[in-house]
Chains A and B, each alone.
Chain A
Amino acid sequence: MENKEMNQQTDMAAFHEETKAQESKNTSTVVKKHNSILTADKLFVVCNTLFMILFVVVTLYPVLNTVALSFNEGTDAVRGGIHLIPRKFTFKNYSVVLHMQNIITGAVVTVARTVIGTLLALVANALLAYIISRKEFLFKSQLSLFWVITMYVNGGLIPVLLLYKSLGLTNSFWVYVIPGMVSAFNVLVMRTYMQGLPEALEDAAKIDGAGYMTIFVKVVSPLCKPVYATVALFVAVGQWNSWFDAMIYNRMKTEYTTLQYELMKLLSSVMQQSGSATSMNTANAATVTPVTVRAAATVITMLPIICLYPFLQRYFVAGLTIGGVKE
């Protein structure tokens, strides 16, 4: 912190000297210089505005284009040229997607893993963070180190796969929620927040005879709602978006497929027949193609997140800022 300010001060000093030297050389150019700064500033504002417009367009266009494609007739979409508005409007892509058994199963599993996984992770991470945030806890630093190490070293894909196999976690729903339950990063974020809570409240509860668990549930947790929300958001987004575990551990079990994994299969089918007008093998074969069906499935998959994230902004901004400030 101090270092940072020092840096700024020296930089400022350099700047002062630079300008002063210029000023003493020729005082009459000061007014001119001021004017040139103004024009430079105006140019800057114009360029900056253009940059931001470009940024917004590049960010939003592909997403909106997918929405447009999802409402367009498949065989018509193959001709290209669809941008933000569908050319031949239809709901067929959606009705095809919603009649795919795999997608429905995937949606149910994805919702289940997001809800159960987030709840389990929240309880586990909060409890561990609470334990290592207790100043008087005897093995505080050892337990912290034990978990910090897991952030940097991991066994890798194959040993993990063999472990899950021997624990009977493969071909089961639990592989989605049990192994990733505790994350050292989230624990550190929560611990930092808990350490900042006023001690007086806990002391008061202790005098009333409350034990550790009572304090955790009744005193600390209500105060930690913002950081709980942050971690819940991180975990929920991770759960909603994961597909690799479904592919590796539950490939044979279609009843445990996830939305993203089904989307991935649709994507592969699009890539294989890239550009061609091959229609889907369904009752609506005449009008839908893999491209438009994939677009519809994409929209369904991203809709919940897009609707929710703007309202959770302050939580993830706060969480990232806590996480970034390491001790």
Chain B
Amino acid sequence: MNRAKKEKKMKTPITKKELMKQKVLLFWSAIFVVYGLIFYYVPLGGWIMAFQNYKPKTGLLHSKFVGLGKFKFLFEDQTFLKVIRNTLGMGVLNLVCTFVMAILFAILLNEIRSNKGKKTIQTISYLPHFLSWIIVTGILHDALSANGIINELLVNLHIIDTPISFFSIPQLFWPIVAFANVWKETGWNAIIYLAAITSIDPSLYEAAAIDGAGRWAKIKYITLPGIRPTIMILLLMNIGNVLNAGFEIQYLLGNGLIKNVSDTIDIYVLTWGISQSDYSLGTAAGIFKSVVAIILIVVANYVAKRSGEERLF
């Protein structure tokens, strides 16, 4: 950052002449800054609400300050603690499953010799990514319903006698969500690994073949080490998103029977903030989420830096 600033100063000093020359750029930049301030930075000012007993009537300026009262309420609320557990649990489970599956899929697809077959499979693999969560949830609901394909298979294979009601068993909810994420994003996430695999020097494989390496050996000693930097950087980018992994599918599939394991921080914010109109509490929960996300990113970045891996910043 510092060096960049110095270099820039050496190149183009801020003079009246230069400012005049760049007046069009400056004009549009100003518009983008105003836009950014309104839509991204002003809401941050709304964080004050979390320290108030905000009432829409009195507004931000005249509502009563309650200090950390709302946060205290949050951490004494058993529901909120459960909601944190669910968000982190599902976030980590989703992250691990989608990561492993995308890498596995990319490596295995790369081993398909027929180019046409490879292309076709890849095109099909992108499809679910373009479907909305509403559609995916609907499809999942059909597949797992009492007369859906999964129950039909399980009954016909004599694994179970009567259809399972999948959405009323708490233990099954997290795995179902993880599966839905894997189903939707595996092909999409694999794109970047496939690109990384293509950039590996082919002579390495040739050399390995001469040495008598089989497919497994080539994957283990060439492909995996080759995409390692890509894996690390994507892992870093996604760790900050762990808490964002939980809204749509949980909101759509959650029901009274499994609320305990399905509700996430976002749903908590929605319930308290919108339905109960406790804006302050909703904001406080949202702040907690943002802060944890930033801590996660910074820590992950630090760990990567210490272990000599690539890093984000």
A residues whose Cβ falls under 8 Å from a Cβ of B: 3-5, 7-8, 11-12, 14-16, 19, 30, 33-34, 37, 40-41, 44-45, 48-49, 51-52, 55-56, 58-63, 65-66, 69, 78-81, 83, 124, 127-128, 131, 134-141, 143, 146-147, 149-150, 152-163, 167, 179, 181-182, 211-213, 237, 240-244, 248, 260, 263-264, 267, 270-271, 274-275, 291, 294-295, 298, 301-302, 305-306, 309-310, 313, 316-317, 320-321, 324, 326
Contacts and interface: CB of A to CB of B under 8 A. Distances in A.
Contacts of B125: 55, 59
A19 B130 contact: no
Contacts of A12: 204, 207-208, 221-222
B235 to A, nearest CB: 12
Task: Give the one of A58, A140, A264, A270 with max B CB within 10 A.
Answer: A264
A56 B124 contact: yes
Contact of B46 (A37, A163, A242, A243): A163
A11 B205 CA distance: 12
B233 A309 contact: no
B111 A48 contact: yes
A150 B44 CA distance: 10
B141 A150 contact: no
A154 B139 CA distance: 32
B22 to A, nearest CB: 6
Contacts of B140: 62
29 contacts: A7-B228, A15-B217, A16-B211, A19-B213, A56-B121, A56-B124, A131-B29, A131-B32, A136-B11, A137-B29, A138-B14, A139-B26, A147-B32, A152-B240, A154-B290, A156-B46, A158-B286, A159-B46, A182-B35, A212-B25, A243-B134, A263-B138, A270-B141, A295-B142, A302-B130, A309-B126, A313-B126, A324-B195, A326-B233
Interface in B288-304: 289-290, 293-294, 297
Chain B residues touching A, majority SS: helix
Contacts of B269: 156-158
B112 interface: yes
Nearest to A39: B214
B97 interface: no
A158 B25 contact: no
Interface string B199-241: 0110010011001111111000110011011100110000010
Which of B43, B128, B248 has the most A CB atoms < 10 Å from its CB?
B43
Contact of B43 (A58, A152, A154, A295): A154
A182 B33 CA distance: 11
Contacts of B19: 138
B294 A153 contact: yes
A154 B291 CA distance: 10
A244 B49 CA distance: 23
B142 A62 contact: yes
Contacts, number: 291
Given A147-B32, A155-B40, 5 more contacts: A59-B187, A81-B147, A136-B18, A241-B132, A309-B127
B185 to A, nearest CB: 12
A59 B183 contact: yes
B5 interface: yes
Nearest to B294: A152
B214 A41 contact: yes
Contacts of A179: 39
A15 B211 contact: yes
A141 B1 contact: yes
Nearest to B293: A152
B192 A66 contact: no
A267 B138 contact: yes
Given A158-B46, A159-B43, A320-B192, A63 B139 contact: yes
B191 interface: yes
A313 to B, nearest CB: 7
A163 to B, nearest CB: 5
B204 A143 contact: no
A274 to B, nearest CB: 7
A188 B195 CA distance: 19
Contact of A267 (B111, B137, B270): B137
A317 B191 contact: yes
Given A11-B225, A127-B28, A212-B25, A156 B289 contact: yes
Given A146-B33, A243-B132, A8 B226 contact: yes
